[in-house]
Amino acid sequence: MFDRVMISLASPLVRNKVYTLTVVLVSDCVGNRIGKSNFTTQVGLSEQVLKSDVILNEILFNPTPAATDYVEIYNRSNKILDLRQLYIANRNTTGAIGNLVQLSTESNLIFPQEFRVITASAAIVNANYRIINKEAFIVIESMPSFNDDKGTAI
Residue 132 has pLDDT above 90, yes or no: no
42-74, pLDDT tens digit by residue? 999 999 999 999 999 999 878 888 888 899 999
pLDDT given for residue 75 in this prediction: 97
Q: What is the pTM of this model?
A: 0.84
- Category of 69 on φ-ψ map: left (φ > 0), alpha (ψ -120 to 50) or beta: beta
Q: Does 107 have pLDDT greater than 80?
A: yes
Mean of the per-residue pLDDT values of the chain: 89
pLDDT of residue 27: 79
The 10s digit of each residue's pLDDT in 4-40 is: 778 888 999 998 899 998 888 877 788 888 777 777 8
* Long-range contacts of 47-56, Cβ-Cβ distance < 8 Å, separation of 24 or more: 47/15, 47/16, 47/79, 47/80, 47/81, 48/85, 49/81, 49/82, 49/85, 49/86, 50/77, 52/76, 52/77, 53/77, 53/79, 53/81, 54/81, 54/86, 54/110, 56/153
Average of per-residue pLDDT across 80-109: 92
- The answer on pLDDT for 92 being more than 70 is yes
pLDDT above 90 as % of the chain: 51
Q: What is the pLDDT of residue 1?
A: 60
Note the pLDDT of residue 6: 81
Measure the CA dihedral 42/43/47/53, to 10°.
10
Bridge partners (DSSP) listed for residue 118: 71, 138
